[in-house]
């Protein structure tokens, strides 16, 4: 049986949870009950060209850093648990997607950035309980799309016309997922 998902314009609370220019980015939410590494890999491959940047805000289990080092995947460490990884090959994408799957299925967020001229050291998130998530040093003009992957789905913040409405997003979801039209803004 296929897993169902829905696609909607994001609720205002989701939009307000990020400190991004609201006029430039459209926000689309996709609800999926199970985030898998093949879903993440497929999304990245269908939506973007490599490189993309994964921001692992917290690598809480400890083996994530060891896995990156063992596989000779360079990363920018911005805290004892946080890393930014430039993914520029399918091999890296598969490896990092597996790490991301474990993190999001344990309640953590993983951010995926796509754009031209993005610098790893600028992708450090700032999170405070009473303020929106900020990426203070990011040149927002260089960011085409940000995907916030969470345990219950993902949110796309994009300037790109290819996925700026709920009607356009389903073609990027793998076929083994089924669209719940009744819960979607389609």
Domain residue ranges in the chain: 3-183
Q: Using CA atoms in the order 126, 132, 134, 136, what is the torsion angle rounded to 10 degrees?
A: -100
CA 181 to chain centre: 23
pTM, two decimal places: 0.94
Element holding 53 (H helix, E strand): strand 52-56
pLDDT at 134 over 80: yes
Give the angle 54-51-32 at the CA atoms, nearest 5°. Answer: 50
pLDDT tens, residue by residue, 44-92: 999 999 999 999 988 877 788 899 999 999 999 988 888 999 999 999 9
């Amino acid at each position: 049986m296929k897993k169902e998902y829905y696609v909607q314009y994001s609720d205002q609370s989701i939009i307000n949870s990020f400190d991004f220019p609201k006029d430039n980015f459209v926000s689309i939410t996709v609800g999926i009950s199970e985030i898998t590494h093949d879903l993440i890999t497929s999304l990245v491959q269908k939506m973007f060209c490599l490189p993309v940047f994964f921001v692992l805000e917290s690598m809480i289990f400890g083996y994530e850093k060891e896995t990156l080092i063992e596989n000779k995947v360079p990363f920018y460490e911005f805290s004892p648990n946080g890393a930014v990884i430039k993914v520029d090959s399918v091999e890296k994408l598969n490896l990092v997607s597996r790490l991301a799957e474990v993190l999001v299925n344990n309640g953590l967020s993983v951010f995926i950035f796509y754009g031209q001229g993005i610098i790893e050291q600028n992708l450090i998130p700032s999170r405070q309980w009473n303020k929106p998530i900020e990426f203070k040093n990011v040149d927002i003009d260089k960011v085409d799309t940000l995907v916030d992957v969470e345990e219950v789905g993902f949110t796309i913040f994009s300037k790109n016309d290819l996925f700026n409405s709920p009607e356009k997003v389903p073609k990027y979801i793998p076929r083994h997922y089924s669209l719940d039209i009744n819960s979607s803004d389609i």
